Structure 1
Amino acid sequence: MTATTVSPGTPGIAATQRRVLRVLVASQVLSGAGLSAGVTVGALLAQDMLGGAGLAGLPSALFTAGSALAAVVVGRLSQARGRRPGLALGYLAAVVGSAGIIVAAVAGSAILLFPAMFLYGAGTAANLQARYAGADLASRSHRGRAVSTVLVATTVGGVVGPNLAAPAGDLAHALGIPHLAGPFLLSGVAYALAAVALTCWLRPDPLLLARSLAEPTVEPTVEPAAESAAEPAAEPALAEAGRGSVVVGAFVMVVAQLVMVSIMTMTPIHMHDHGLGTAASGLVIAVHVAAMYLPSPVTGWLVDRFGTRATTAASAATLLAAGIVAATAPGDSIVMLSVALGLLGLGWNLGLVSGTAIVTDALPLETRAKTQGLVDVCIALAGAAGGISSGVVVETAGYAVLANVGGLLALALLPVIAVGAVRR
């Protein structure tokens, strides 16, 4: 039997990993600004153009569905050509989507808005898959921290982006563009710069280098009779364990994404209905995005120190708390809604980092990027479902019901990780 691993003694590998992380951090700062700026006003723009809250979650669903398709493309391109072209393509597609949203807003055309939102979602796919690039050259014992380093970089852009929503809207108005389309100007520029940074400086490509450094590890020689008796039982069991771990890790991230997107999407609408403006929504979303990424170093340490099961359980408890606080917070309370969305972002972070570690540990280099892309498709589809259903739930039952249901749904993580632990 053979397995492929990256030799820990390869000269310069630690320095190369530090360089890769620096470039990824820079691109994540930029893409985080592009992502969060659009998220802040996407639902409001749809409500303004479509004339109601019932379809206000549709843009979130569309760019999340676009993220699903982009995750497949980015994953397959990364598998074939490396992380650099895959991630850069995702960001460039988001640039086109941002431009399309601005054109749709100027023309007042929902028909143009929908495909543009779909393309805009490619930026989300690239932003998320960058975390895998941070783990390609990392040792197993430091994988959680490598993933968290890439994620935490998104905090800077994620906090700055929403707070630039109002100034970007003023700039757009001065240019003759609808106010709510202004943040997509920022998104387009930020995503373009992220693509340039990766194309120019992500060298060597971490996934291609990891493959070139992979060395065969040969098990001790056994007698032919013993080998023939052992392999039929051992190899299927190992393959089944790997598939099971991928399913568990994917489920953790899917549930965290579904809960997070559904509550987050409707919060600006909820605040707007209670008389709060874009600046207030931007502040709450900034707190949310900061909580999504800023705790990443601590989360990575928790995964490496206490394991993925304990971290996933913490994710479920935090998401439940977020739903309860959001449901009970007054609609005009910026402080309470900030606390609720802060908890929501933290719960998502705990789930994403632990789920990523579970999936990455279970995958060989030969199929890693492609399978990671498929996992991210499931995450994106869950976000799309959360986005499109959230508007319907709010319009028919109210924001409090949406928040409570989301919190309770997070408890589904507990039996899944318990069963996963027993199987291992």
Structure 2
Amino acid sequence: LSLVMAGGVAAGVVGPQLVTYTMDWWPPHRFTATYLMQAVVAALSALILLGVKLPLPTAQEIAGGRPLGFIARQPRFIAAATCGAVTYLLMNFLMTSAPLAMHMSGHSQESANWGLQWHVIAMYGPSFFTGSLITRWGANRVVAAGLVLTGLSAAVGLGGVDVSHFWVTLILLGLGWNFGFLGASALVLECHRPEEKTRVQSLNDFIVFGLMAIGSFSSGGLLAAYGWDVVLWVSFAPLVLAFAALAMMAGRKDSDLEQQENTAS
């Protein structure tokens, strides 16, 4: 897991620097060379992935276990999917808008690139010890810490439009994503049995990444129409929803969940 996460740290350094060094290669059309270089990197990644052979799900994994609808109604799964989706949605929502807001505030593209670099490092760097935190404190507390950090990132952004405000916002946002998303992913593991993992995790990924795409598409239009402060204020609404889902899960005793599972079995 740490080796995989290290790839994210490397991407946090290489990606923004790739933008910095290529964005002005074709002066009449800024960023055109950057998109071409991104396509080259994607093609190289695709060649590497050709060598990856993943095992196909067994018949038991496809059809075995409890009904998917029953699992999805569990408070634990609802909390896990909600918190994972909110964390990823807000990370993408604010990260997409932040560099544009920096440009609108008169800051240089290089400053935005540096902010994104530290944001991505903050996203993946803590992964080397996040698992230990989950083991010690529990996934729900780590998720709550991630949501708090995400809220703090929006609060810092509301404090001003200096470069330092944007950078701190992006760093806190990255940390919040790491704790929130990895903690929520750990909660999903508590919701299914081994033979159910393919269906349950596929449903969770569909929810998380579907909502993330909505956040990514909506952030630019919201920023252009209403400004950076409104984007930040809007981000608090999903956070309230995520905290409510966590509270609902905490209010249900494990014995209640086990009784429901036994009934379904």
Q: Unaligned 5+ residue runs, structure 2? A: 255-265
Matched position secondary structure for 2:106: coil
Count of residue pairs the alignment pairs up: 248
Tell me which residue corresponds to 2:232.
Answer: 403
Q: Unaligned 5+ residue runs, structure 1? A: 1-145, 215-234
Q: In structure 2, give the amino acid aligned to 1:304.
A: T
Q: In structure 2, give the amino acid aligned to 1:317.
A: V
User: Quick one: which of 317, 331, 339 aligns to 2:168?
Assistant: 339
Tell me which residue corresponds to 1:91.
Answer: none
Cα deviations by residue, 1:191-245 (Å, 9 ceiling, x for unpaired): 2222222332x46x4x55x97xx9xxxxxxxxxxxxxxxxxxxx979x9467523
Tell me which residue corresponds to 1:163.
Answer: 17
Tell me which residue corresponds to 1:381.
Answer: 210
CA contact (8 A) 1:266 1:390 kept: yes
* CA deviation after TM superposition for structure 1 residue 354, in Å: 0.9
Distance 2:72 2:18 in 1: 44
CA contact (8 A) 1:242 1:363 kept: no
Q: In structure 2, give the amino acid aligned to 1:392.
A: G
CA contact (8 A) 1:328 1:400 kept: no
Answer yes or no: is 1:319 the counterpart of 2:132: no
* CA deviation after TM superposition for structure 1 residue 149, in Å: 4.9
Any residues of structure 2 matched to 1:137-216 within 5 Å, and which?
146=1, 149-171=3-25, 173=26, 178-200=29-51, 202=52, 205=54, 207=55
* CA deviation after TM superposition for structure 1 residue 272, in Å: 0.9
Matched position secondary structure for 2:107: coil
Distance 1:168 1:373 in 2: 37
Any residues of structure 2 matched to 1:8-407 within 5 Å, and which?
146=1, 149-171=3-25, 173=26, 178-200=29-51, 202=52, 205=54, 207=55, 240=70, 243-244=73-74, 245-330=76-161, 333-407=162-236
Matched position secondary structure for 1:354: helix
Which aligned runs of 4 or more in structure 1 are off by greater than 6 angstroms?
A: none
Distance 1:391 1:374 in 2: 27
* CA deviation after TM superposition for structure 1 residue 369, in Å: 3.3
**Largest Rg, 1 or 2:** 1
TM-score w.r.t. the length of structure 2 is: 0.81
CA contact (8 A) 1:390 1:402 kept: yes
Matched position secondary structure for 2:31: helix
After superposition, the Cα gap between the structure-2 partners of 1:154 and 1:181, relative to the gap in structure 1 and judged at 3 Å, is same
TM-score w.r.t. the length of structure 1 is: 0.53
* CA deviation after TM superposition for structure 1 residue 311, in Å: 0.6
Cα deviations by residue, 1:28-81 (Å, 9 ceiling, x for unpaired): xxxxxxxxxxxxxxxxxxxxxxxxxxxxxxxxxxxxxxxxxxxxxxxxxxxxxx
Calculate percent identity across the aligned residue pairs.
Answer: 28
CA contact (8 A) 1:259 1:407 kept: no
Tell me which residue corresponds to 1:417.
Answer: 246
